[in-house]
Amino acid sequence: MRASTYRFLSLLCFLAVFLLQPSLSMACECIASGETKSSDMQFDGETHCYSFWSETGQGVVIEMARLSGGLDPRVQLYDPNGVLVADSGGKENDWRAIIENYQTEMTGIYTIIASDGGYNPDTGGFGLSLVLTGGTTTSPQDKDGNDVTIGHAQSGNITPGGDTDAYCFFGQVGQGVVIEMARLSGGLDPRVQLYDPNGVRVADSGGKENDWRATIENYQTEMTGIYTIVASDGGYNPDTGGYGLSVSLMPPIDPFDGIYPCNPYTPDGPSVSLCNWDNLSLWWLEVYAATSYDVYFSRGPCMPLEKVAENIVDTIIDPCAFMPAPENKHYVCSWKVVAHTPEGDIYSPTYWFAVECCFPNCHPDYNSWVEAGKPECWCYPRQCHGDSDGLKEGGATKGYYVHFHDLNILLAGWNTLEHPKGPGIATITGPYGEPGICADFAHDQEGSAKKGYYRVHFNDLNTLIANWNTLEPPQGPGIDPNCLDCP
Helix (H, G, I), strand (E, B) or coil at 160: coil
Please compute the mean of the pLDDT values over residues 77-92 and round it to a whole number: 93
User: How high is the pLDDT of residue 20?
Assistant: 40
Burial of 381-405, coded b for 16+ CB within 10 Å and e otherwise, reads bbbbbbbbbbbbbbeeeebbbbbbb
Residue type (1 letter), 195: Y
Least confident of 94-98, 207-211, 401-405: 207-211
* pLDDT higher than threshold 90 for residue 109: yes
User: How high is the pLDDT of residue 17?
Assistant: 44
In this structure, how many other beta carbons lie within 10 angstroms of the beta carbon of residue 156?
21
What's the mean pLDDT when you consider all of the chain? 85
> Any idea what the Cα angle at residue 80 is, between residues 79 and 83, rounded to 5°?
45
Half-sphere exposure of 73 (CA within 13 A, CB side): 27
Closest by CA to 285, choosing from 197, 224, 346, is 346
Q: How far apart are CA 187 and CA 238, in angstroms?
A: 9
Q: Which residue has the higher pLDDT, 8 or 434?
A: 434
Q: How far apart are CA 389 and CA 376, in angstroms?
A: 10
Helix (H, G, I), strand (E, B) or coil at 437: helix
What is the CA 162 to chain-centroid distance, rounded? 13
User: How high is the pLDDT of residue 276?
Assistant: 42
Q: How buried is 249 (Cβ within 10 angstroms: 0-12 exposed, 13-18 middle, 19+ buried)? A: buried
Q: How confident is the model at residue 125 (pLDDT cuts 50, 70, 90)?
A: very high
Instruction: Using only the alpha carbons of the chain, give its radius of gyration.
Output: 24
Helix (H, G, I), strand (E, B) or coil at 435: strand
Range list for CATH 2.60.40.10 in the chain = 259-356
Structure letter (DSSP) for residue 406: H
User: How high is the pLDDT of residue 28?
Assistant: 82
User: How high is the pLDDT of residue 149?
Assistant: 66
Q: Which fold has domain 259-356?
A: Immunoglobulin-like (2.60.40)
Range list for CATH 2.60.120.380 in the chain = 31-253
Please compute the mean of the pLDDT values over residues 199-208 and round it to a whole number: 93
* pLDDT higher than threshold 90 for residue 199: yes
Are the C-beta atoms of 162 and 63 separated by less than 8 Å? yes
Q: How confident is the model at residue 140 (pLDDT cuts 50, 70, 90)?
A: confident
What is the largest distance, in Å, between two alpha-carbon atoms of the chain?
82
CATH architecture group of domain 31-253 = Sandwich (2.60)
Are the C-beta atoms of 346 and 339 separated by less than 8 Å? yes
Closest by CA to 292, choosing from 303, 307, 272, is 307
Q: How far apart are CA 398 and CA 150, in angstroms?
A: 50
* pLDDT tens sequence across 249-299: 998 876 556 666 654 443 334 444 333 444 567 888 888 788 999 999 987
* pLDDT tens sequence across 1-57: 455 544 444 544 544 444 444 333 345 889 999 999 999 998 898 999 999 999 999
* High-pLDDT (> 90) share of the chain, %: 53
